[in-house]
Each structure stands twice: as C-alpha cells, then as structure tokens.
Structure 1
C-alpha cells in the first residue's frame, strides 16, 4: 500500500537519495528544503522515472513560523504523513572549540536539533491521532564518537539519538515507530558545505577510502520502513568498510 513520506533536506545528498528510494518503492513523496529550484528538479525527475505523486514545499527548518505554516499546509493539501524523515542537517567548520565561529555553532544547533524538534512537533500529533506512523531521524557516527574539531556537531548528533529515544518512550502506547540512522563517512555535498564551499578541501575528506554513498543510506531507510508492524528497528549504524569508528579510517595511499 502506498504511503506518504515527508523528507526534510530533500534537495541533494542523502535526502534526494531517500526521495528516489521511496518513490521507486511506489510511495507518495513530499520534498522539503531551502532551494526551491533544486526541489522542483528532483520532483520532475521522480515523476518521470517512477510515475508517483510528488509534492515540493520550500522550507527552512530553522524558522519556527515557517515550519508551522508549511507543515500544516502539507497536512491540509497532501494529507496525513505516514513516514517522516528528518534529514535536514549540516556541519560547519572543523576547528577547535575555543576557535570556532559562534555563528557556525548556532547554525548547527538551529538546524540539527531545533529543526528536527520543530518539524516533528508539527507532524507527530496527527500520527498519534491516527495511531500510526514512523519517524526516521538521521544522526551520525559523530553522535557516538566525538572527534577533533567537531565538538558542537557531535553534540547535535548525540542529541538526535537521545531525542529519538525520548520520543519512542513518549509514544510507546501508540503504533508509532522511531528509528535513528547513524551513518559514517558518506560522499555527498556535506563536506563542501562544512568547508564553506571549499571543494578541494572537501575532496580530501574522501581521499583514499571508498566512502558510503547517499544511496546506501537511502536503501537502509527503506529497509527499516518496510518491516512488518511487529518490528521496530530503533538504531542502525552504517559505516564504510574501512571505517572502524567515526574518524578511525584506513586510507589507501
């Protein structure tokens, strides 16, 4: 049976790959993100390839009023959301905490934690009312293993894990699943954003290692979402083959 899947940060990277995975599965997909032109391009691609219903809505998850308005519009125009994928998130910078740009710190907090909270708070009540739903939150191995230059980013991803656990507890009497996906090194525009557009520096992150691809994480998300009612997968950690912890990576010279 076709489900309605809402994905935040769906304009590129893991979010875009998630959209393809669920659309290929025959699900109705709702794309949200800050770049409308990219969302529209993804929407056109999905509709052409999979002949499914696709909707797109510009959304900046850091803006409270916008989140409230857009989420309520989605619920009114598209209908109930069966699966919410909280994918919107980012890292900015890789400096020692004492040297970090405060604005970068606050942007990570606003996006990775507050954004997830705001969107989930708008979508979860209708899941509770219908006694049905699945929330998939994208965490990171950084939330398990802190690493140098990533104190704040790691803290935000640790918060994603704990928030997921707390929401699962609060909805334990409902037929709602909550899953945290914790990817390791994934080759996406993530590092280019982290280094404020410095493509050469971003490329060094993936040098010498066969990194995960966005499609790998999307495949896992679809697997989690397609389990029978009795199965709730609470957490999955996905790492590259030559990755042992968050930043313990063997690189071929």
Structure 2
C-alpha cells in the first residue's frame, strides 16, 4: 500500500456494512478517506473504530446518490479540500423485496436503479475527471454481487429490479475497462461480486429465508479490496467473486 499513502479515496454508502468496513481498512492503510452517505453522523462515528493515527484521515460528507447535483458538489468539495481522487469505491446499493409485477412500487424500482446504476455512473464520471487531470492513474471499484452474474433463488422472496441493476454493473466494469484504456489512462477497474454478506441490506424477510445459509462479513470484502489495491501497476483484477464456504445460492 506504499504508493497509496496519503492519497485520497472516496467510498460511497459508507455509513454501514461493506462501505463502513472499506472506510476503516483504507484509513488504517494510510489513505485519506472520504465517506459519502445520507447518514453522515454514522461515518463520523467510525473514527472511534480506526487506529489513532488514522482518525485525522477519515472524513464524512452527506450525499444522496440519487441526486446528481449533490454528487457533483461533493466531488468538487473533496478535490478542493483534500486533493485529487485516486481511489473510488462504488459501494452504495439498495434492494427492495417487492415483486416487479406489484402495483404501486414505481418508487422502489426507481430508487434501486438511481442508486445502483445511475449513482455509480455519476460518481465514476466525477472521480475519473480528477484522476485524468492528475496523471491518469487510479483505481475504481464496483461493489457488485453474485446477483450480477445470475439470479439467486431465495425461497418466497423477490428482490425486484436488484439483480437487473447488478447485471448492469457487470457490463459497466467492462465498458469502463475499455474506456479507461481508450482514453490513454492507467486507471484500473475492479468488480467485486460477493455472495451473501451480513449487512443491513438483508431485509428481515430475506434473512428468514436465508436462516441456514452461511454469510460473509463486511470485513471480508474490505480485505479483498486492499488485496486488489496492492497488485503491481501492470496487474488488473477485473472480476473477483467471493462466496462464503457452503453457499448454495
């Protein structure tokens, strides 16, 4: 992690789960970390969970990824206050446990699409702008899901448009790889696709359906992210799938 010391990393959906774990791991490994989420106070509370030397490197900003202008303003402020962005972790994601054919669930569908797809596009565009302007070097992470490769069969549960958005993220990873290359940069892109992770995104109904299933912990994903960051400049881990041992989904 030596080449990333005191460089700026941005983590979306940083108030809990995988995002919170990534914030802590990046700060403990020497990076200046800015967490974005609607619940800013929960990111600020993470300072008590990192090493003493890392606390001054951990910062929080309120941002609703469904609002493009909030994203633009947040990234401008980050660059202005902390310097150019070199790492982006697109972690924010939502799932809704309703059927696609239900009536009156348009807002559920729109929230999932706006967060899981459009928010990723807008954040990556703003981070890329900074990376490109400062040497064309950096690393973009897409926290994907096994749902981005097939639709898991969770008994008596529908996850609405969620698997569709994660399939889009899988395609986006390849589109970004090509665009970063064609635009003459050395920016890496890595899609990390976890199986079931024990986070707040698992609704009570889903948790009941998965009562006997094994779960990953958020720290398992953060650890994998640090591994990917430490690869040599000529190595790009394009897709990394992580499953808990014994997963049947």
Fold conserved (TM > 0.5)? yes
CA distance in 1, matches of 2:129, 2:66: 20
Q: Does 1:171 align with 2:205?
A: no
Partner of 1:137: 142
Per-residue CA deviations over 1:29-68 (Å, capped at 9, x if unaligned) read: 1111100211211134336374551111111111011111
Q: What is the SS of the residue equivalent to 1:91?
A: coil
Q: What is the SS of the residue equivalent to 1:191?
A: coil
Unpaired runs of 5+ in structure 1? 193-198, 249-253
CA distance in 2, matches of 1:132, 1:52: 25
Q: Does 1:105 align with 2:114?
A: no
Partner of 1:40: 44
1:191/1:205 contact within 8 Å kept? no
CA distance in 2, matches of 1:57, 1:105: 26
Deviating above 6 A after TM superposition, structure 1's stretches of 4 or more consecutive aligned residues are none
**TM-align CA RMSD:** 1.7
Say how many residue pairs are matched: 237
Give the one of 119, 132, 136 matched to 1:128. Answer: 132
* TM-score (normalised: structure 1): 0.88
Partner of 1:187: 198
CA distance in 1, matches of 2:217, 2:114: 26
CA distance in 1, matches of 2:224, 2:152: 25
CA distance in 1, matches of 2:55, 2:78: 20
Unpaired runs of 5+ in structure 2? none
1:185/1:240 contact within 8 Å kept? yes
